[in-house]
Structure formats: structure tokens, C-alpha cells
Amino acid sequence: MVEKNAPAVRLGRGFWIVTAVLAILAIASIVFWYVAPIYRWMHLPVAIATAKQVDQLSRFMLATGSALYIFVVGYIVYFAIAFRVRKSDPPDAIGIQIHDNHKLEFWWTVIPAAFVVLLSVLSIKIWYEITLAPSNGLVVEAIGHKWYYTFRYPQVNGEITNAMHLPIGVPVTLNLTSADVIHSFWVPAMRLKNDMVPGLVTQIHFTPTRIGTYQIICTQFCGIDHSLMHQQRFVIDSQANYQKWYHAWQVKNAKVSNALPSTSGASVNLAAGDVAAGKALFAQKCTACHAMAPFTTVKYGPGLLDVLHDPTHPNLVNGQPANPADAAAILEKGYTGTMGSMPNAVTNGLSSQDIANLVAYLNSMK
């Protein structure tokens, strides 16, 4: 039962002591979040311009959030103790009932509302910069696959299957999509993340500000080998190194075939295989899953060094003798075994000539 004229609650000396202690703790927590090198502890360098602002916003939220948390929890604990049932109280005692304090209600509505508005203003400011499309700069494509990324560059026809390179200081528009299921593209050092959705191209914009090599992570559970999608790297080069890398990629790509993928039936003329072209193509299309290392060095698929000349490994994964014809058959048709799926020629984008070149290269490794 609520008493009509409840006696005014006196907040004793204890309340003010607790308030002073909580204020000191709250200030200490704010100082902590601003002074502690939290992003260094988390090994999170700042790779692009807006990453710094995201860090500042999250520091602000951590600082204000923990100060608030200390007061809320501190008062709950203090009041639970101060207004506990005492031995001397009658068994049917009820606590002092407080309701309708308009002054208090006004402030606990206005202050949090103003705080939420402040947070949204700060967030929208950063969001605006992230979504703002630069009028110039580089346009690169990143495509998610089960379970790796490929990258495409302007004026180059092929796909990069290892690391994505970008020059420092040049605004980038990154077009993201997926070839199969929903993946995502997250570079923690950029504090930027976007989903890669099949049939949809999404964009992110940023300007690299720090030379270095960073991890790319897929944050959508995209299938059995989802966890392998953190192997590729995001590299920010100096302008000169980027130009060198880009040029080399262009030249390499000019050497490898961009012919249409071989479809079943097209015969592979193994004698026409070119080792150098096969080597270039291998670096471009196979290194996401295979290392040029012994069979037991598994990246996603097995190591392919001396795959056709290893006496301890007389058969290929499909159970057929390890010879060029069988390697070509695996490259053409693909193969799914205990390690996973080796994509077929259509998925890998290989022409008959490409297969011949790759087999010549594999045959030359021993």
C-alpha cells in the first residue's frame, strides 16, 4: 500500500560520501580511456583517415559509458545496503514509497536524450565522411568466394588471388560483391566493414594513410572453411612501390591467357604447355589455396611441389596415377575430396591453353 503522505527521505552523510567516491571512480575511468593505449594493446594500427575518428568516437563512448555505469551500479549497491530490512523492523514492514518526482524525471529524461543526440551527431559526421564518394582516385573491386577473396584493378583483365595492394594517400572506391554466398570485407585497421552480397555491388570509400600490411577478415559465417578467410592481406604501399607492383601485375597478366574458360570437350594439348606462363598463372590463380611446397604443407589444398614426381605420392587425390594427363583432368573437372573442393576450369577461369601451361609448370617442379 502506498502511503498518501510519505515522509521526505533524508539522504544522510553516507550518500554524499558514496557520491564523492563514485565521482572519483568515474573521473578515473574517463582518464583511463583517454590515457591508456588501448588500440596499441589490441594491435590495431590506424590505416586510413577515418579510422582515427572512429577511435575517438569509441573512446568517448567508452569513457562516458563507464562513468555512467559506475554511478548507476554504485547507487544500486549503496541504496540496497542503506535501505535494507533491519532486525528491529516489524516483519510486515514496507519500505518508504517514493513516486512522482517531477524535477528528477525531467532531468533523467533531458540529460540522456541530449546525450543520445550528441552521440548521433558525432556518428553521423563520421558516417558521412565514410560514405562520401571521392570525385577522383582509384576504383578497385573485391569479390568474395568460398573461401577467399579476389581483387580486380582497372585496365587489368585478370584477378588477384593473394594480397590487395593500394597506394598511400590516394582516395579509393572499393566495389564489393560476392560470387557465391554472403561474405564480408573487414579490415580491422581501417575500422570499416561491409557485407559482400551476391548480385549486389556495395561501395566503401577511404584514403590510406599508413604504409603497412593488414589482415582482411570475413565476418559472415559463409560455410565450412569460413575461418580460412583471414589469410589474405591488405597492403598499403608507397606510391612508387605501388606503381612497381601494379606494373608487374599488368605485365604478368598480359603474359597469361585471358581466353574464355575451357568447357568440357575442348581438348588440352599438353605438349603446348609453357612453363613460364604456367608459373605466372599459378601465382595469380592457385596460391590462394596451394603452396609450392611438399604435399603435406596444406594451405587449403595440398602443397604442389613435385606433385607429379613424388615416389611417396604415386596417385593424385582422385586415385589416378600422378601424371600430366591426370593433373589436367583435375584442373579441368575439379575434384572434391577429404581436404575440400578443388574448383573446375570454369570456376578458376582457365582455358585449355592455361591448363596445358599449368601442367607444364607443375611437371617442371621437382
Please give the DSSP secondary-structure letter assigned to residue 189.
G
Q: Tell the residue number behind the cell numbers 582516385, with chain if given.
A: 137
Complete DSSP assignment for 66-130: HHHHHHHHHHHHHHHHHTPPPTTS-TT--PPP----HHHHHHHHHHHHHHHHHHHHHHHHHHHHH
Q: Is 143 in the site for ligand HEC (CB under 6 A)?
A: no
Q: Which stretch binds ligand HEC (CB under 6 A): 183-191, 204-212, 257-265, 278-286?
A: 278-286
Q: Which does 190 bind (CB under 5 to 8 A by kind): ligand HEC, Cu ion, none?
A: none
Sheet holding 172-178, edge to edge: 148-152, 138-145, 172-178, 202-206
Q: Is 328 in the site for ligand HEC (CB under 6 A)?
A: no
348, 362 in Cβ contact below 8 A?
no
Of 45, 171, 324, 340, the one binding ligand HEC by CB under 6 A? 340
Q: Which does 343 bind (CB under 5 to 8 A by kind): Cu ion, ligand HEC, none?
A: ligand HEC
- List the interface residues with Cu ion, window 253-292 (CB under 5 A): none
C-alpha cell at 111: 540529460
Of 54, 164, 222, 358, the one binding ligand HEC by CB under 6 A? 358
Nearer to Cu ion, 218 or 329 (CB): 218
Of 222, 270, 355, 362, the one binding Cu ion by CB under 5 A? 222
Nearer to ligand HEC, 146 or 191 (CB): 146
| CA angle 53–59–61, rounded 5-degree value | 105
The partner residues of 151 in beta bridges, in order of sequence, read 142, 160
Please give the DSSP secondary-structure letter assigned to residue 315.
B
Report which residue type is found at 91.
Answer: P
CB of 151 to Cu ion, least distance (A): 15
Instruction: Tell me the C-alpha distance between 12 and 23, whole Å.
Output: 17
CB of 184 to ligand HEC, least distance (A): 18
Q: Is 22 in the site for ligand HEC (CB under 6 A)?
A: no
306-328 burial code (b ≥16 CB/10 A, e <16) = bbbeeeebeebbeeeebbbebbb
Q: Which stretch binds ligand HEC (CB under 6 A): 6-14, 31-39, 85-93, 280-288?
A: 280-288
Q: Is 290 in the site for ligand HEC (CB under 6 A)?
A: yes
Residues in contact with Cu ion by CB under 5 A are: 183, 218, 222, 229
Residues in contact with ligand HEC by CB under 6 A are: 282, 285-286, 288-290, 295, 300-302, 304, 307, 316-317, 327, 330-331, 335, 337-343, 348, 350, 358
